[in-house]
A = this chain, B = another copy of it.
Amino acid sequence: MDDKIINKILDEVMKKVNTEGAKSSAPATANFRSSSMTEFVGTAVGDTIGLVIASVDSALHDAMGIDKKYRSIGILGARTGAGPQIMAIDEAVKATNTEVLSIELPRDTQGGAGHGSLIIVGSEDVSDARRAIEVALKELDRTMGDVYANAAGHLEFQYTARASLALEKAFKAPLGKSFGLIVGAPAAIGVVMADVAVKAANVDVLGVASPGKGTSNSNEYILTISGDSGAVRQSVIAAREAGLSLLQALGGQANSVTKPYI
């Protein structure tokens, strides 16, 4: 049997092997991508799920420590990602009559170096909570755009010209001012990015967080900045260039999870 035939068989087989491999790591969930429960709103990248409770049970209100005037709550939770979800909720509360009740950061990312998230918004009317979660789920595709990952770690960048209530709650971002977020994992890379960022433009440092302080023991170093919109953007972009160079030196090509927006 000549090599041509063997190669033809090889090609066929490799095609099939790769298809089966893909299947096993991402199971055939097509049939499942919905739930008949009225609480279900939708899903998004990062194993993010959006949910709503129209009328929270009184016992749960007490246990959660939520003011009873918020009859309805919207819930955004994810295995992978905290910054992107907080940014998405920030847009959602701008667009709806809701309030951010709590932001919690599990140590997650499914074996990765960072956080997952559990964000709860409250409203008097369920339609507001539902609308907020819908907006957030839609925004996630964008806010995941400047997340870059490879086998060794990840980088995250966020930028907005006008911070709203979710960013204020999570990062003490001044309301209505420009805000930037720079995250590097492993944390060592984040330290260098922070230095590059503050040297690149005249910005105000809101804070830093590290594995032992301000994170849930994630392997991240996080810088948050505020200030003039052009300066914040310039600072974030400089950090991104530095971070990509370092993360790729450690673990190879690091691609955007969706599509860069900054």
Contact = CB atoms under 8 A, between A and B. Distances in A.
Interface of A: 1, 5-6, 8-10, 12-14, 16-18, 20, 25-29, 32-37, 39-40, 43, 47, 49-51, 53, 56-57, 59-60, 62-64, 73, 75-79, 102, 104-108, 110-113, 116, 118, 120, 150-153, 186-189, 191-192, 194-195, 198-199, 205, 207-208, 210-213, 215-221, 223, 242, 245-246, 248-253
Given A20-B14, A113-B108, A246-B39, A205 B63 contact: yes
Contacts of A192: 37, 39, 51, 53, 75
A262 to B, nearest CB: 20
A27 B60 contact: no
A208 B120 CA distance: 15
A250 B9 contact: no
A212 B104 contact: yes
B219 A79 contact: yes
Given A186-B49, A186-B116, A205-B63, A245 B37 contact: yes
A1 B6 CA distance: 10
Contacts of A18: 20
Contact of A207 (B37, B47, B63): B63
B111 A111 contact: yes
Nearest to A112: B110
Given A9-B9, A195-B56, A104 B37 contact: no
B10 A118 contact: no
Contacts of A1: 5, 8-9
A78 B33 CA distance: 32
B49 A208 contact: no
Given A59-B198, A216-B211, A249-B43, A6 B12 contact: yes
A110 B111 contact: yes
Contact of A27 (B110, B151, B245): B151
Contacts of A205: 59-60, 62-63
19 contacts: A27-B150, A29-B253, A32-B249, A35-B249, A37-B192, A37-B242, A37-B245, A43-B249, A49-B188, A53-B192, A56-B195, A59-B198, A62-B205, A63-B207, A79-B152, A104-B211, A107-B107, A116-B186, A211-B216
